[in-house]
Chains A and B, each alone.
Chain A
Amino acid sequence: MSEQVNTSVNEPGDERSEELAESSVTRPDMSAPEPAEEQHAAVPPSDVDTVARAEETPERELPYAELGLKDDEYARVREILGRRPTSAELAIYSVMWSEHCSYKSSRVHLRQFADKAPQSDALLVGMGENAGVVDVGNGWAVTFKIESHNHPSYVEPYQGAATGVGGIVRDIISMGARPVAVMDSLRFGPPDVPDTRRVLDGVVRGVGGYGNCLGLPNIGGEVVFDPCYSANPLVNALCVGVLKPEDIKRAIAPGPGNKVILFGAGTGPDGIGGASVLASATFDEESQQKRPSVQVGDPFMEKLLIECCLEIFAEDLVVGIQDLGAAGVSCATTELAAAGTGGMDIDLTRVPLRDATLRPEEILMSESQERMMAVVEPAKVERFLELCAKWDVPATVIGDVTDTGRLRMTWHGATIVDIPPGTAADEGPVYERPYEPPADLAQLQADGPGRLPRPVTAEDLRNTVVWLAGSPNLADKSFVTSQYDRFVLGNTVLATPEDAGVIRIGDGPQGIALATDGNGRYARLDPYAGAQLALSEAYRNVATTGARPLAVTNCLNFGSPEDPGVMWQFARAVEGLADACQALGVPVTGGNVSFYNQTGSTPINPTPVIGVLGVHDDVNRRVRMSFNIEGTTLLLLGETRPELGGSEWANVVFQHLGGLPPLVDLAAEAALASVLVTGAREGVLNAAHDLSDGGLSQSLVESCLRGGLGCVISLPDDPFVELFSESVARAVVAVYPEHEERVAALCQAAGVPVRRLGTVGGDAFEVEGLFSIPLSELREVHQGALPALFG
């Protein structure tokens, strides 16, 4: 039987192959892929594991353990298929059921985001699609999502970070949107560890190299250093896109007879096993040997894909579309088929290759970048291929949608895959992993910052202000962000170091604001509060620019889910985030979980990174952080408590982590936001800056240096607490004297404590009766720190 199948593989009379060959587009310029027949002529078909052969040789052992499947998972595959899988089917199940693709450890917890989702009229597409979509009014919708590329960025920092940007941008294109901006949330080891320079330099070049070449402004993000990220950096990339609500695209393959088109870059050997091996295993000494597993990016091809897709969408040429990311062709075919009519026939021989020696299993697992898969009605295929040719984007019809309920794939005519697609895409294993608080948590929480000696004298206080301003986490990040284009597309209203990135939509005046935040130190002390504090800060940052917070995305970076302590951190963080989103009325629209962030058995600090999207009715009303008007009055909004657990003061001065993080107060956060948004709308705020890491001291330093003017303030209570506490729901605003009364009234109406701090002016940061620090001195330490470390 199998012999018969095999003799037919190179049969030129195969009607379907010929039909497909005609519709294949040859690229007019450089590196045109060879026609598929020639590519595969060298592959002897006799060693291909076909379905027929699998039925004949049930006893044959397959390397499922090496591919990451557990014994019981493999047994389930056999049960689903009623036979042993072929090696190609095993490839599909192993990547689709990997932690990265199936969310098998996190799924039971993530349900809370849906169960506790606040009522929101704005939500057009929720979790589960490539990215969530929210209605921002006036006929516009916005799609945004953040995703991790942590492990690849340690192995190969440049390509890991670059393809992290590329992947999230394709998610946004897949929704039918034009990408309009990117952000990046980065975590590295301590600056004085030599390897940090390698990782930071490569990651920053990668983020910039890809994003700049793609023509997307980088409008914000974070750069944080901590020993826990030494051998496990975090690279979380966010992309936001804009579209009309009626143009939303879905990852579905409906309509039997419709054509499946693979377009974009050729499929190569890069990233094979990337999803299942790299993202689902802990690093050890062998990680250097995994270099070929990291994908290689081509931002030029991605730029062509963006423009090509937008023209294809404008002519309404697709019924479904999906980008190829982790698990490549396996993921795209199973997910499209499972969400559509249910069946698909694919001729893998048709996939254009960069390496003619690739076997079908490798084609299925390859994570080559810059590829998309579209489902197109037969009458529209010709026009689709014409537009691809216009943009020099190779495109090939590789199969058809069917109503068989089966995903079938052939290789030179022989069937090598025949599975119900939903079993791979949606019915992966689900684990309720055991969890309990980390053994050292109680001890950590008991070791509060109260035992740390505080600066008492005026000189000690002054020196602490300067010390913090020049510490790596609080220092100016221009060394990093000046490597990113923030101007391209001409709609960037605000970018780093402002509290949030702000982008104008359409011809204005409408716009959006975006901020990402996450504090692993807080989350280590209390993951439930830590996740809420990350949301609080991002929410506050968006509101500080005057935008109304609307929706949330998240990237949950944790250690191994097989460690009960880590699983407990994860469960608590998800619960905290879901509860806080409900309280603040901002739904989670999508996100990403990254497990196995650890070195040996030591996990990173749990690091939920939260992105908040806000809306500006009129971006001309946005509020900036800079103090640039002499004589404006400084007001402190919110309540300051002696909260220094997990603070930057404790970190910088004592490398201390212990106690409890600041108290979460979501009601106060919402009240503060309402004052900031109303104040911006009424034009009574000249400047506003949120208080977070480093407290009031750091916020004033940043706003003074940004605007070029100093300030004189008075601190009647405990100046140490007032300067360095990290209590939430606080912001400092600069207002013209004639608006003081109005801002005070807004605060009173919202129940937000307000206190007059002092005035803007001069060329020093002065606290009356205590100290005066020339801005030139602060500028030198603040702006000089990172260039001195990495320049």
Chain B
Amino acid sequence: MSARVGVITFPGSLDDRDAARAVRLADAEPVSLWHAEADLLGVDAVILPGGFSYGDYLRAGAIARFAPLMEKLVAAAGDGLPVLGICNGFQVLCESHLLPGALTRNAGLHFVCRSQRLRIENAGTAWTQDYEEGQEVVVPVKNMDGCYVADRATLDELESTGRVVARYLDVNPNGSLNDIAGICNEAGNVVGLMPHPEHAVEALTGPSTEGLGFFTSAVKKLVQS
């Protein structure tokens, strides 16, 4: 039986279909989750996709965190459910305090869309086990509010405990502190990522297929357990 991976759709989610496609290409079954239904439908993992939930009004991710489904998700994440927040999903995870820090306006004040080289710094999380530590991958980055910030103590803790999951190489597209592109929680089951691995799963449409590893990692872990 294949793993069932939920993809949440908030009003204004944009990359939910892409995330579902990536799940399919990782040989798992995508399950649509609706923000207003407080039911995770028994899925084995959850992806919060990119987009502009609630138009990013007030603050990116600030309104989505109050969705009925999020209460269930926060509890399940505490129990070890693998959760991946991509871009806007990362912002929602920070607003929900599942991950520390915040994502603010890009340093250049422009929306930035480019194919970005990253280094996988932690290959031990639920979503990166199919990578080697130090492996370099190219996936798209596209955001307006992608500048990762946290206080010094939090940054030190993230760095010293290996919770920086991915880092920007060549160019820091948004001014993130320490070139941080993604982080995880202490247990390693919740990962937030500003770049979009779901846009790098097919040679035809992506700059590479190197994003697929995030999805196969979670699926492999689920099948193993």
Which residues of A, 192-215, contact B by the 8 Å Cβ criterion?
A: 205, 208-209, 212-215
Instruction: Judge whether A213 and B18 touch: CB under 8 Å.
Output: no
Q: How far is the CA of A655 from the CA of B106 in the complex (A)?
A: 38
A298 within 8 A of B: yes
Contacts of A357 in B (CB 8 A): none
Instruction: Judge whether A504 and B205 touch: CB under 8 Å.
Output: yes
A572 within 8 A of B: no
Q: How far is the CA of A447 from the CA of B79 in the complex (A)?
A: 79
Q: How far is the CA of A483 from the CA of B110 in the complex (A)?
A: 7
B15 within 8 A of A: yes
Instruction: Judge whether A304 and B11 touch: CB under 8 Å.
Output: yes
A457 within 8 A of B: no
Contacts of B142 in A (CB 8 A): 212, 485, 487-488
A482 within 8 A of B: yes
A187 within 8 A of B: no
**Which residue from A298, A391, A488, A493 sits with its C-beta under 8 Å from B55?**
A298
A406 within 8 A of B: no
Which residues of A, 418-439, contact B by the 8 Å Cβ criterion?
A: none
Chain A's nearest CB lies how many Å from the CB of B208? 12
Contacts of B59 in A (CB 8 A): none
**Which residue from A490, A619, A620 sits with its C-beta under 8 Å from B18?**
A490
B107 within 8 A of A: no
Q: How far is the CA of A428 from the CA of B116 in the complex (A)?
A: 54
Instruction: Judge whether A482 and B54 touch: CB under 8 Å.
Output: no
B117 within 8 A of A: no
**Which residue from B14, B111, B205 sits with its C-beta under 8 Å from A483?**
B111
Q: How far is the CA of A300 from the CA of B199 in the complex (A)?
A: 22
Q: Known contacts A298-B55, A391-B11; is A487 also within 8 Å of B140 by CB?
A: yes
Q: Known contacts A482-B114, A488-B14; is A300 also within 8 Å of B57 by CB?
A: yes
**Which residue from B17, B112, B114 sits with its C-beta under 8 Å from A490?**
B17
Contacts of A492 in B (CB 8 A): 205
B12 within 8 A of A: yes
Q: How far is the CA of A29 from the CA of B15 in the complex (A)?
A: 24
Closest to B18 in A: A490
Contacts of A300 in B (CB 8 A): 11-12, 52, 54-55, 57
Interface centre among B57, B140, B142 (most CB of A within 10 A): B142
Contacts of A490 in B (CB 8 A): 15, 17-18, 21, 198-199, 202, 205
A491 within 8 A of B: yes
Contacts of B182 in A (CB 8 A): none
How many A-B pairs have beta carbons closer than 8 Å: the answer is 83
Contacts of B17 in A (CB 8 A): 489-490
Contacts of A392 in B (CB 8 A): 11
B223 within 8 A of A: no
Q: How far is the CA of A300 from the CA of B52 in the complex (A)?
A: 8
Chain B's nearest CB lies how many Å from the CB of A296? 13
A299 within 8 A of B: yes
* B61-104 interface code vs A (CB 8 A; 1 in, 0 out): 00000000000000000000000000000000000000000000
A113 within 8 A of B: no
Chain B's nearest CB lies how many Å from the CB of A503? 10
Closest to B199 in A: A487
Contacts of B110 in A (CB 8 A): 205, 482-483
B153 within 8 A of A: no
* B96-138 interface code vs A (CB 8 A; 1 in, 0 out): 0000000000000011111000000000000000000000000
**Which residue from A212, A299, A493, A619 sits with its C-beta under 8 Å from B111?**
A212
Instruction: Judge whether B204 and A213 touch: CB under 8 Å.
Output: no
Instruction: Judge whether B196 and A487 touch: CB under 8 Å.
Output: yes
Contacts of B111 in A (CB 8 A): 205, 208-209, 212, 483-485
Closest to A620 in B: B204
Contacts of B52 in A (CB 8 A): 212-213, 299-300, 303
Q: Known contacts A304-B11, A483-B112, A484-B113; is A213 also within 8 Å of B205 by CB?
A: no
Contacts of B15 in A (CB 8 A): 215, 488, 490
A84 within 8 A of B: no
A486 within 8 A of B: yes
B144 within 8 A of A: yes
Instruction: Judge whether B206 and A487 touch: CB under 8 Å.
Output: yes
Instruction: Judge whether A491 and B205 touch: CB under 8 Å.
Output: yes
Q: How far is the CA of A209 from the CA of B57 in the complex (A)?
A: 13
* B194-220 interface code vs A (CB 8 A; 1 in, 0 out): 001011001011100000000000000
Instruction: Judge whether A213 and B12 touch: CB under 8 Å.
Output: yes
Q: How far is the CA of A399 from the CA of B197 in the complex (A)?
A: 48
Chain A's nearest CB lies how many Å from the CB of B140? 5
Q: How far is the CA of A215 from the CA of B52 in the complex (A)?
A: 9
Q: Known contacts A300-B55, A490-B205, A491-B205; is A485 also within 8 Å of B11 by CB?
A: no
Chain A's nearest CB lies how many Å from the CB of B53? 9
Chain B's nearest CB lies how many Å from the CB of A45? 36
B56 within 8 A of A: yes
Q: Known contacts A213-B56, A303-B12; is A482 also within 8 Å of B205 by CB?
A: no
Contacts of A619 in B (CB 8 A): 204
Contacts of B196 in A (CB 8 A): 487
**Which residue from B21, B112, B198 sits with its C-beta under 8 Å from A482?**
B112
Chain A's nearest CB lies how many Å from the CB of B41? 18
Q: Known contacts A490-B199, A620-B204; is A213 also within 8 Å of B113 by CB?
A: no
Q: How far is the CA of A508 from the CA of B205 in the complex (A)?
A: 12
Instruction: Judge whether A487 and B113 touch: CB under 8 Å.
Output: yes
Chain B's nearest CB lies how many Å from the CB of A266? 15
Instruction: Judge whether A488 and B11 touch: CB under 8 Å.
Output: no
Q: How far is the CA of A270 from the CA of B17 in the complex (A)?
A: 34
Contacts of B11 in A (CB 8 A): 300, 303-304, 391-392
Closest to A490 in B: B18
Chain A's nearest CB lies how many Å from the CB of B79? 29
Closest to A209 in B: B111
Contacts of A493 in B (CB 8 A): 204-205
Q: Known contacts A215-B14, A300-B55, A303-B14; is A486 also within 8 Å of B113 by CB?
A: yes
B30 within 8 A of A: no
Contacts of B140 in A (CB 8 A): 487
Interface centre among B110, B111, B112, B205 (most CB of A within 10 A): B205
Instruction: Judge whether B12 and A485 touch: CB under 8 Å.
Output: no
Instruction: Judge whether A485 and B55 touch: CB under 8 Å.
Output: no
Contacts of A482 in B (CB 8 A): 110, 112-114
Chain A's nearest CB lies how many Å from the CB of B181? 16
Q: How far is the CA of A487 from the CA of B139 in the complex (A)?
A: 11
Which residues of A, 3-37, contact B by the 8 Å Cβ criterion?
A: none
Contacts of B6 in A (CB 8 A): none
Closest to B144 in A: A212
Contacts of B112 in A (CB 8 A): 482-483
Contacts of A303 in B (CB 8 A): 11-12, 14, 52, 55
B192 within 8 A of A: no
Contacts of B54 in A (CB 8 A): 300
Contacts of B57 in A (CB 8 A): 300
Contacts of A299 in B (CB 8 A): 52, 55
The list of the 9 closest CB pairs from A to B, nearest first, reads A300-B55, A215-B14, A487-B199, A490-B18, A213-B52, A483-B111, A487-B140, A485-B142, A208-B111
A208-B111, A392-B11, A488-B142 known; 6 new pairs, CB 8 Å cut-off, are A215-B14, A298-B55, A299-B55, A483-B110, A490-B205, A493-B204
CB pairs A–B below 8 angstroms (22 shown): A205-B111, A212-B142, A215-B51, A300-B55, A391-B11, A392-B11, A483-B111, A483-B112, A487-B142, A487-B196, A487-B199, A488-B14, A488-B15, A488-B18, A489-B17, A490-B18, A490-B21, A490-B198, A490-B199, A490-B202, A504-B204, A620-B204
- Give the A-binding residues of B (Cβ under 8 A): 11-12, 14-15, 17-18, 21, 50-52, 54-57, 110-114, 140, 142, 144, 196, 198-199, 202, 204-206
